[in-house]
Amino acid sequence: MLRPIISIDEDKCDGCGQCVLDCQEGALEIIDGKARLVGEILCDGLGACLNCPNGALKLIERECASFDPSAVLAKKNSCVQPVVVPAKTKTLGQVDLPNLGHLNKRFPTTLQTWPIQLRLLNSATPFLRGKKVLLAAHCAGFAVANFQDQWLKDQVLIIACPKLEPKADLEQRLIDVVAHSQIQQIAILRMSVPCCQGLERLVRTACQIAKIDLPVSVDILEIPRAG
C-alpha cells in the first residue's frame, strides 16, 4: 500500500541514536554506526523520530507493508527482560537500630570540588575558573577502575546524563559555564551507547552559542559483550 514511512539519509546520519530513543515502536536501530529501518511493519509513519540533530530523517510516501501494531508488541515482548529478585526486607520492629552504627563510615576521596552535577553548578563557582573540565556520563565513574586516580588529577569533574535529564536544562547550564567560567578545555568521558553522544552535542552547542572555541576531547568506554 502507499503510505508515509521513514526515510534515512545515511550521509547525514552520524549514528547518534536520538531517533532510536524517540521511536516507541522499535522500528529503528543503530547498525554499523548508522540508523536503519529494521521493519516496514514496525514504522507507524507518524514521525516521532524526526527530531534528528542532523536532519537525516524524513517522512516519504511509498509502496510498503502496512503498519502492524501486533508486530510491535511481539518485538517488545521478545526483548530480554531483567529478572527482579525480591529483596529480603525487615519491618522497622525487626531492625536492631544500635547495630546500624557500622554504616557510619568515612572513605577517602580525591574529589576536590562539589557539586559535580551539571544542573547544580553555578557559572560563578570559583573552582571552575581557569580549570580543565571533565564532563563525564553518570555511568562512567562506575565503569572505569580507579576512576578518580586516573581522571581527576588535574580536572574538575562535572557529570550529566543526556538521556535521563532535561536537554534544555543541561544545555543552558553548560552554555553559562562555557561563557562565564573561563575554563581551559573540556574532556568528555562517555559510554559507547548512542544516548551518551548527547554529551558531545551539548558541548558543541554550548561552544557555538557562547562563541568560545574550546579544545574538546572525547573518550568512549566500551563494555565487552558477554560471549
What kind of fold does domain 2-78 have according to CATH?
Alpha-Beta Plaits (3.30.70)
Q: Please state which of the ranges 50-54, 93-97, 138-142 shows the lowest mean pLDDT.
A: 93-97
DSSP 72-138: HHHHHHHSPPPPPPPPP---GGG--GGGGGGG----------S--BGGG--TT-GGGTT-EEEEEET
* Cβ–Cβ under 8 Å, residues 197 and 16: yes
Residue 138: band (very low, low, confident or very high) from pLDDT cuts 50, 70, 90:
very high
Which sequence spans correspond to the domains of the chain? 2-78, 118-221
What CATH code is assigned to 118-221? 3.40.50
The mean pLDDT of the chain is 83
Average pLDDT over residues 161-166: 87
User: Residues 74-102: pLDDT tens digits?
Assistant: 877 665 444 444 545 545 455 455 555 55
Cα separation, 28 vs 82, whole angstroms = 22
Give the residue carrying C-alpha cell 552554555: 175
CB count within 10 Å of CB 110 equals 12
Please name the residues in contact with 132: beta carbons below 8 A apart, sequence gap of 6 or more: 154, 155, 156, 183, 184, 185, 186, 187
Q: Apex CA 193: angle with CA 72 and CA 185, to 5°? A: 145
Average pLDDT over residues 198-202: 90
**pTM for the structure as a whole:** 0.57
User: Residues 18-29: pLDDT tens digits?
Assistant: 888 888 888 998
Please report the pLDDT score of residue 98 as a whole number: 54
Q: For residue 224, is pLDDT > 80?
A: no
Please report the pLDDT score of residue 145 as a whole number: 83
Q: For residue 137, is pLDDT > 80?
A: yes
Please report the pLDDT score of residue 11 as a whole number: 92
Alpha helical stretches, state H, the chain = 18-22, 69-78, 140-143, 147-151, 167-180, 198-210
Distances (CA, A) of 13 to 43, 48, 63: 18, 17, 24
Q: Please state which of the ranges 69-73, 101-105, 122-126, 207-211 shows the lowest mean pLDDT.
A: 101-105
Cα of 33 vs its chain's centroid, Å: 16
C-alpha cell at position 23 = 521511536
